[in-house]
Amino acid sequence: MTNQHGIRRAAIATGLAAVLVVTGCTHEPVADPPARPGATSPPSTLTRVAVGDQMTVTAAVDRIVDDALVVRDVDLTEGTLLVLTEQAVDASPPQLVTVEGTVVRFSYRDLAAHHRLSDREAYRPFEGQKALVASRVTVWR
């Protein structure tokens, strides 16, 4: 009788497993929740670079202040970047420019004389932010 009892248990277990499989009561892997749109985006160009790094950026001219350019691109922190040049660049909004240069922390007090910056108020939004001192600017016509 012990042998029949074991066979009966095995049959019941097999039958139960078959019912679970047929009715879909199996463990399926739980899908990961969808990522938030911002969570998968790469950090902006300015977030990835440190002061002193060399950087090349292609962006549209937003405005010109003195001989400096303010360029705009979605890949830039806050959307804009101050570009300090050694001389005036023949570009106007919304022309595309490619700028190669060195990343600096902008300080009007430290950079005004060397880059001929006149209106302190025009540069206030960039104070303490990363800026680019251009070694080369290419204007796309």
Q: What is the pLDDT along the chain (141 residues), one digit of tens a residue?
A: 555 655 666 556 555 555 545 555 445 554 554 444 433 445 667 888 999 999 999 999 999 999 999 999 988 877 899 999 988 899 999 999 999 999 999 999 999 999 999 999 999 999 999 999 999 999 998
The answer for residues whose C-beta is within 8 angstroms of residue 96's C-beta and 6 or more apart is 58, 59, 60, 61, 139, 140
φ and ψ at residue 69, rounded to 5 degrees: -110, 145
CATH of segment(s) 45-140: 2.40.50.200
- Indicate whether this model's pTM tops 0.85: no
φ and ψ at residue 47, rounded to 5 degrees: -70, -35
CB contact at 8 A, 48 and 77:
no
